[in-house]
Amino acid sequence: MITVLLMLGVASVVFFVIYLIPGDVANIIAGERATPEQVAHVRQALGMDRPLYVQYLDWLSKVIRGDLGKSLISGRPVMKDLILQLPRTLELMVSAILLAVVVGIPAGILASVRRSRVEDRVVSTLGLLGLSLPSFVIGTLLALVLGVYLRWLPISGFMPFDEDPVHHLKLLFMPSLALGLSMAGVVMRMTRSTMLGVLGEDYIRTARAKGLSERAVHYRHALRNALVPVVSIIGVQAGTLLGGTVIIEFIFNWPGLSSLLIRAIYQRDAPLVQGVILLISGAFILINLVVDLLNCRLDPRIRYG
Amino acid sequence: MDNVACKIQLPRKEQETSVVAGKGTALSLARGALSSRPVQVSGLLLILLIVSSLFAPVVSPHDPIQMNPPDRLKPPGRSYLLGTDEYGRDVLSRILWGARISLAVGAAAVALAAVGGVFLGVLAGYYGGMIESLIMRLMDVALCFPPILLGIAVVGFAGKSLLNLVIVLGFLFIPRFARVIYSSVQSVKQNQYVEASRASGGTHVYIMLHHILPNIFAIIIIQVTLNFGFMILLEAGLSFLGLGTQPPTPSWGTMIASARDYMEIAPFLVVWPSLAVAITVLAFNLLGDGLRDALDPRLIQ
């Protein structure tokens, strides 16, 4: 229920932000030298001469039915463009999240188990560094080192998977790494601090007293409870990642949602901009819902009404 | 910077005059914060950065905008400490001037976010009920948008100007402040001195200004510091995409973007502004972390 209300709120904000912003779409379509009559004509054709609330309700009812309108520039349905470009962005995100989980959680466990020793210091420092380096800086530096100096990987571009899988993966590697590293830092810090919290609890002492091996204590008892906040932070980060892909796709010429968004903004293609933002924000809400549900499974004490 | 400084000063004065016990604890808190190593190191770094950007016109060896084609893409050397860019401009000077933009945009945006967020957060936390639901649900919706995305959309449509950038960044961060402030106000208002003040005839506004605000002061400072780094990241990111600071005004984001075209012949060009962003954000994060460890009453227990 809350999710639905949030979606509705988000959709409304998307609509009004785009419409309230100065820069009349009709003027742009009609061209700079258009007469006022021509502009008025375009306005009428787009239904923009109707009262704002009529436009809003009309737009909203269409959105609910999955109709996001047509691009003002290409005339193609916005939905079609979204469906084409979405998987490419998702692919980037999923590989970045995988990387962050595979690197971040074990690193966090290591740091917590070897607290205040060399391992912890190294891992913690790297974590803070990963957190502070913006993904576009990491991306640019990666391209500099791996692409320009070592020439191991192509600097940028896109190749459909079914045409050349190896080249596709090669191109995927750097953008996912750039996106995943800063997230890995966050995941690591969270894993470390929650593991440290859990390791100080009474039931861990009990488990140790029972004669369980350190391994069993860490993985069977501590990790499960420590993972709840980690899963939450992964969800939050996944949302941030959606924003981060914008810059990364730009750097590596990856034709996902963001290139669509940036092109749409430069062309002032309002329906396309609305579509992309709505999709990304909707995905953000969905991710948070999934995180909540996952946490219910991990920790039976958490219940949602 | 002035804006933030004013904002920060205000509650502290009130704390010292109105809450007698507050004076000693504020001092000891400040002393505690200053004795932590990360706070010292990052604080020193940031002071250095602020001073050098304030005095950029004096300390920068060259004009940051004046083009000088014969000297283009010079490697780091004696006349150009960090080399020159594709128009023969001194990179060091541009980084120093760029720091001004980053810090100014960050400060103005954080000030806007803090004022708005504290206002809404205190209202929601103090009054509760309808006001709380209204404000906090609005914040929930606003939090659903990845900041950079809305930033791109609004700046893209409304026009690329520094003022727009500041307004967008500021508004985008209001919910983050409001959330944190809201939850701390909720716990502060449980205190008996609030009840006592109420009983002795204190008005709501008086209580909010004299009892609530001084007690969430530390939390506001921590949030300001942590979000300052975020703002600088976003400003650099938007400028990198060509939607923030416009050339020829030097900005770290645009410097990285244009240096990428010359990575093969002048790799250092991209390294310097990247380092500048990274070190600055790292310093803000360290300072925020350190302050939180030292100041946050929830952690002090």
Structural domains in chain A (count)? 2
Same domain, A21 and A148: no
Same domain, A97 and A175: yes
Tell me: pLDDT of B48 over 80. Answer: yes
Between A4 and B103, the higher pLDDT residue: B103
Q: Which residues of A touch B154 (CB under 8 A)?
A: 17, 21
Same domain, A166 and A237: yes
Whether residue A132 and residue B256 make contact (CB cut-off 8 A), yes or no, is: no
Mean pLDDT of chain A: 78
Residue B113 pLDDT level (bands cut at 50, 70, 90): very high
What value, to the nearest 5°, has the Cα angle with vertex B12 and ends B10 and B17? 105
A42 in a domain, yes or no?
yes
DSSP A243-257: HHHHHHHHHTT--SH
Q: Is A255 left (phi over 0), alpha (psi -120 to 50) or beta?
A: beta
Topology of domain B14-56+85-299, CATH = MetI-like fold (1.10.3720)
A122 in a domain, yes or no?
yes
A17 in a domain, yes or no?
yes
State the smallest CA–CA distance between residue A216 and chain B in angstroms. 30
Residue where a domain terminates, one of A33, A64, A95: A64
A75 in a domain, yes or no?
no
Please tell me the distance from the alpha carbon of residue B14 to that of residue B30, in angstroms, as a whole number. 16
Same domain, A122 and A95: yes
Please tell me the distance from the alpha carbon of residue B123 to that of residue B190, in angstroms, as a whole number. 15
Q: Which residues of B touch A281 (CB under 8 A)?
A: 144-146, 149
HSE (side-chain half, CA atoms, 13 Å) at A185? 21
HSE (side-chain half, CA atoms, 13 Å) at A228? 15
Tell me: pLDDT of B21 over 60. Answer: no
Least CB-CB distance to B260: which of A140, A246, A268?
A140
Single-letter amino acid code for the residue at B275 = L
A13 in a domain, yes or no?
yes
- Highest average pLDDT, of A17-26, A145-154, B244-253, comes from B244-253
Check whether the bond before A160 is cis (ω within 30° of 0): no
Same domain, A58 and A86: no
**Domain membership of residue A217 as a residue range:** 81-298
Task: Report the CATH number that the domain containing residue A96 is assigned in CATH.
Answer: 1.10.3720.10
HSE (side-chain half, CA atoms, 13 Å) at A23? 17
Whether chain B has a CB inside 8 Å of the CB on A129: the answer is yes
Look-up of token digits 């309108």: A69
User: A97 CB contacts (<8 Å, ≥6 apart)?
Assistant: A180, A183, A234, A237, A238, A241
Same domain, A49 and A90: no
Same domain, A116 and A162: yes
In the prediction, which pLDDT does B50 show? 86
Which tokens go with B35? 């004795």
Please tell me the distance from the alpha carbon of residue B129 to that of residue B173, in angstroms, as a whole number. 24
Same domain, A284 and A213: yes
Question: What residue segments make up the domains of chain B, in order of their start?
Answer: 14-56+85-299
Same domain, A281 and A154: yes
Same domain, A233 and A290: yes
Which tokens go with A10? 């988000």
Least CB-CB distance to A134: which of B142, B264, B277?
B277
Whether chain B has a CB inside 8 Å of the CB on A196: the answer is no
Please tell me the distance from the alpha carbon of residue A198 to that of residue A204, in angstroms, as a whole number. 8
Residue B8 pLDDT level (bands cut at 50, 70, 90): very low
Does this model's pTM top 0.90? My answer is: no
Between A279 and A46, the higher pLDDT residue: A279
A197 in a domain, yes or no?
yes
Same domain, A293 and A206: yes
Mutate to test the interface with B, among A8, A17, A140 (most CBs of B within 10 A): A140
